[in-house]
Every structure is written in C-alpha cells, then in structure tokens.
Amino acid sequence: MNFDGYKPSNPQSTTLSTIRMLARDEVSFTVEHQEIIPIMSFSGKYELQTHENFEPFMKAIGLSDELIEKGKDVKSISEIEQNGNKFKVTVTTGSKVLINEFTIGEEAELTTPTGEKMKAVVHMEGDNKMVAKLKDITSVTEINGDTIVNTLSVGDIHYKRISKRI
C-alpha cells in the first residue's frame, strides 16, 4: 500500500498512520489519519491593557447595569497553563476568579462570563488561535508574540480584550 500521494490539508502538519497486522497470512490494514498541528505556547500571565465594546456586550449577555458599572474599569489578569493540548485558564478580575480547563478538540464544561456553566469544544485554527462556541457566545483567542487578543461575540456585538504578557 503506497501513501506517497497523500497530502495533508495543512502542509505544516504531521500525519500519523497506523497499520495493524492480524494472525498468520491474513493482513488487514487499518489506516487512522490524524493531522497534528503544532501549537504555539499560550502559557504565561497576561494583563488586560484595553478592551472595546464592554458595556454593549455585557448587556447583551444579561449582566445587570450595576455589575457592568463595577466591571468596566477593572483590569484583569489571565494565567494560561498549557501542557500539550490541555489548558487551564484562570482569569482574575478584582475579587472574581474564573477557571476553565479543557483539552483541544474534546468536550469540556466551561464557565461563561455570567457564571453559567455549559459544555463546549475548543478547536484550534492554525497554530495560534483557539475558537469555542458557548451557547450564543463565540470566543476567539489569538496569540501573537506577547499579546493575546480575545474576541467574544454575541450576534453582531464584538467585545475585544487585548492583554500583554507580564
């Protein structure tokens, strides 16, 4: 069996293939294909520098005016611990701490900014962008050097958080 003609969808990826041999003269080939895309390291501590559309987004997801007022000027610290495809993200905003743990490509229970828990799958796009869909919220987190940009969207409202590594 020749695999020379195979081309992965991402030319920077690596292909894993397994071939299983059965008893005696009988040979069975099972080819399992999985593309492994190298992931940039997200690990580190990041401090929120700027954010855009905080109030409209928080209203759209149901936060009270009182909580929005309290939170609009509070700086947050995000700590990301990455071990391969496993992540632990801890966001500390004032006295509130939000922790989410997940493995890329596997369903996990995540907590939204409102404190609601829901199941979601976090996917990689390229080697520096994570995407998750939590009910009506889409979260895109992209790392470029020492900067992380997290964009949360609900409908046509986009809340953008820009944080720098500290």
- Number of Cβ within 10 Å of residue 78's Cβ equals 22
Reply yes or no on whether the pLDDT at 104 is more than 90. Answer: yes
Q: Using one digit for the tens of pLDDT, what is the confidence trace for 23-46?
A: 444 554 555 544 455 567 899 999
3-state secondary structure of 158: strand
Name the CATH architecture for the domain at 44-165: Beta Barrel (2.40)
* Whole-prediction pTM: 0.72
Q: Which pLDDT does position 1 carry in this prediction?
A: 46
Q: Using one digit for the tens of pLDDT, what is the confidence trace for 82-92?
A: 999 999 999 99
Q: Which pLDDT does position 21 carry in this prediction?
A: 42
Which whole number is the average pLDDT over 119-143? 93
